[in-house]
Amino acid sequence: MTTHRERIQACLNGERTDRTPIALWRHFPEEDQNPERLAAATIKFQQTYDFDIVKVTPASSFAVKDWGVEDEWQNNPEGSRAYTKRVIQKPQDWEALKPLAPSAPHLAAQLQCLKLVRQGIGAETPMIQTIFNPLSQAKNLAGNGLLLEHIKKHPNAVMKGLETIAQSTVKFIEAAREIGMDGIFYAVQHAQASMLELDEYKSIALPYDQQALKPAEDLWCNLLHLHGSDVYFSLLRLMNFQIVNWHDRETYPSLAEAQSLFRGVVCGGIRQDTLYKGSQAQVKEEAQGAIEQTKGKRFILGTGCVVYYQSPHENILTAIESTR
């Protein structure tokens, strides 16, 4: 196999690959405020490690800043930024949201970043763009506590807001497709028992997931990220993804169990903390254990979520070496 694209396509087809595919991604908490700098940092990261998939990882606020939220870098080890201004305070605010066009300044900046990354890594390395699902964007607009309170007390107002967010997300994905992305990394943060009951998720969030995902349905490299613990893995049956990623070392299901539940490719195997604070021996043990669990098929080695931005270079190299 001479290209990353060939390796990932073979993996998706359930074929044995020349080595286990690997994909790690991280935030760039200072560079992600400028499309050129984020693109350059993403390309450099790929040139350093040569992963099989490049995930473009902007700050989560990229999708909602054009509605007026503000955030700042507060040294979170994950590399994510903290929100300092929200725009939803009362239920009526959901209904006042207006759809965003892809030409809105922050969305347009991310499309420019995507274009530069595509040029920088070439066509033979799969590139996926991070898309936060409508409910995750709603959380960033309101704060999680207020969002959950509004879902309980004012669900119709929230759903009007989710409709607007979904419309904006559809337009952004359509614009990103024109640049030549291979798929999306679809981040879902509320499909876990500590946030919502499964039936609540299906009634409040799922219709807007399905709406937002429509323009990505025929892309070949879509990845679903189920964030958190006690995740609702059964949602995979209701959405069309080739790859799923979750905190498999910390919550059900294990990689092996997941492969019995899902026909596609599972991605994970290494704890974020192991890559960040663990020894090279621990990284190697988790990586090799994951490869053994999956028998090296329908599997991409990764972490349950982003790589902490200060994770040691040697630990990342150890993860890569474990795949060979």
| pLDDT, tens only, 144-193 | 999 999 999 999 999 999 999 999 999 999 999 999 999 999 999 999 99
Name the percent of the chain lying above pLDDT 70: 100
Task: Categorize the per-residue pLDDT at 74 as very low, low, confident or very high, splitting at 50, 70 and 90.
Answer: very high
Burial 37-51 (b: 16+ CB within 10 A, else e): ebbbbbbebbeeeeb
Q: What is the pLDDT of residue 168?
A: 98
Domain of 128, in residue numbers: 4-321
List the structure tokens of 264: 């596609």
Task: Categorize the per-residue pLDDT at 91 as very low, low, confident or very high, splitting at 50, 70 and 90.
Answer: very high
Mean pLDDT, rounded, of the chain: 98
Please report, for the domain that includes residue 308, its CATH number: 3.20.20.210
Instruction: Count how many domains the chain has.
Output: 1
pTM: 0.98
Task: Categorize the per-residue pLDDT at 1 as very low, low, confident or very high, splitting at 50, 70 and 90.
Answer: confident
